[in-house]
């Protein structure tokens, strides 16, 4: 396995028997030296050179989001499987091109969606799949975090349309993923976005109204301007027979769990909560367990390229709605 870092993507210690990091690649010599010292592996300043000189099973792409597509396509054309961090692309067509390139090459395209594996969200997903809510009426997601100007100033690509995307696409991407994964296909979106305080191209704040095909209504509120630190990452679901709020700073705490009919696993709710110093949660080990199982032929991927397109489609629809001041219906044209 090889890695292309922006910040060093961890090969998780509890999977050390399953992964061998044989090569690393970064076009910044200082970052490359740091990665080499910390993780080992043969260092390369060129992806093309790495692919030509190494025998690899898989490359993990952890570079700025807008670069993912061309790197994924080059890796696929070398006959190597691809893992891409979120979002898989910043443009809709680029995401489609990634999927098609991996299909043509006969390699896997896996998209990292580690929040799905959080214990709190696994319980919520189970309750939804079992129909415990009955008809879902309303859904609300809040991402009230903070990113100071100094965060965006650490690299020229941050806060750009071309390489990064804004608060929805970058920081709240995993929460956008919950709209489809938990509730189902979206029918239409209305969105407004704004750059209220940061000196960046993209939005630091936005709101979205959503209607799902199952009739549910909802909203999503995102800002990177919360004072003085990250406050809340939450999802609330109101249904015919149930009400649940998963909150905390990063959906790490089930704050309300009430259904008309009790189930034996309701007692697990408190145990599912966890303290976190990171908004990224603790889903990565379980995500990589699925990668291991997929590569050994034991199962299909939980989030492949086509699954990644589902949240990318919602993101692009939100930006189209905000730009054109109109409601955008889904699916987008393929």
Of 47, 44, 91, the C-alpha closest to 69 is: 91
- The neighbouring-strand residues paired with 67 are none
Q: Is 106 left (phi over 0), alpha (psi -120 to 50) or beta?
A: left
β-pair type (109-111, 23-25):
unpaired
Report the pLDDT value the prediction gives residue 12, as an integer from 0 to 100.
Answer: 39
Distances (CA, A) of 118 to 28, 123, 279, 284: 33, 9, 11, 9
HSE of 174 in the Cβ direction (CA atoms, 13 Å)? 21
| Whether pLDDT at 8 is above 50 | no
Mean pLDDT of 260-273: 94
DSSP per residue, 227-267 = SSS--EEEEEEEESSEEEEEETTTT-EEEEEEESS--GGGG
DSSP string, 45-103: S-HHHHHHH---SEEEEES-GGGHHHHHHHHHHTT-EEEEPSSS-SSHHHHHHHHHHHH
Distance in angstroms (rounded) separating the CA atoms of residues 88 and 96: 10
Of the candidates 110, 7, 12, 101, which has an alpha carbon nearest to the alpha carbon of residue 58? 110
Does residue 105 contact residue 80 with C-beta atoms inside 8 Å? Answer: no
- Per-residue pLDDT reduced to its tens digit, 171-225: 999 999 999 999 999 999 999 999 999 999 999 999 999 999 999 999 999 999 9
Q: 209 forms bridges with which residues in the sheet? A: 190, 219
Rounded to a whole number of angstroms, the CA Rg of the chain reads 20
Residue in 192, 210, 201 with CA at minimum distance from that of residue 319: 192
How high is the pLDDT of residue 164? 97
Report the pLDDT averaged over residues 153-165.
97
Confidence grade of residue 333 (pLDDT, cut at 50, 70, 90): confident
**HSE of 207, CA atoms in CB hemisphere, 13 A:** 6
């Amino acid at each position: 396995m090889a890695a292309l870092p922006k910040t060093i993507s961890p090969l998780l210690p509890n999977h050390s028997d399953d992964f061998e990091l044989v090569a690393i690649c970064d076009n910044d010599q200082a970052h490359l030296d740091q990665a080499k010292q910390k993780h080992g592996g043969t260092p390369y300043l060129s992806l093309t050179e790495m692919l030509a000189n190494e025998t690899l099973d898989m490359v993990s792409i952890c570079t700025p989001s807008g670069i993912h597509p061309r790197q994924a396509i080059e890796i696929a054309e070398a006959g190597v499987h691809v893992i891409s961090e979120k979002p898989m692309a910043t443009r809709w067509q680029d995401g489609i091109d990634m999927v098609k390139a991996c299909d043509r090459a006969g390699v896997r395209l896996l998209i990292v969606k580690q929040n799905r594996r959080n214990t709190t969200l696994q319980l919520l997903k189970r309750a939804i799949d079992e129909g415990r809510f009955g008809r879902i009426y309303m859904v609300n997601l809040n991402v009230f975090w903070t990113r100071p100007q100094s965060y965006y100033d650490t690299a020229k690509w941050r806060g750009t349309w071309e390489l990064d995307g804004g608060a929805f696409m970058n920081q709240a991407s995993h929460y956008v993923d919950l709209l489809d994964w938990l509730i189902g296909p979206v029918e239409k979106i209305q969105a407004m976005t704004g750059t209220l305080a940061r000196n960046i191209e993209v939005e630091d704040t936005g709101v979205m109204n959503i209607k799902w095909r199952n009739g549910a209504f909802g909203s999503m509120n995102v800002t990177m301007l919360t004072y003085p630190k990250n406050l809340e990452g939450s999802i609330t679901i109101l249904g015919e027979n149930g009400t649940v709020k998963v909150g905390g700073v990063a959906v790490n705490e089930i704050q309300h769990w009430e259904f008309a009919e009790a189930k034996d696993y309701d007692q697990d709710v408190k145990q599912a909560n966890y303290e976190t110093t990171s908004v990224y949660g603790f889903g990565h080990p379980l995500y990589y367990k699925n990668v291991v199982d997929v590569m050994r032929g034991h199962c299909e991927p939980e989030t492949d390229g086509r699954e990644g397109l589902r949240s990318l489609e919602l993101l692009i629809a939100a930006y189209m709605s905000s730009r054109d001041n109109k409601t955008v219906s889904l699916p987008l044209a393929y």
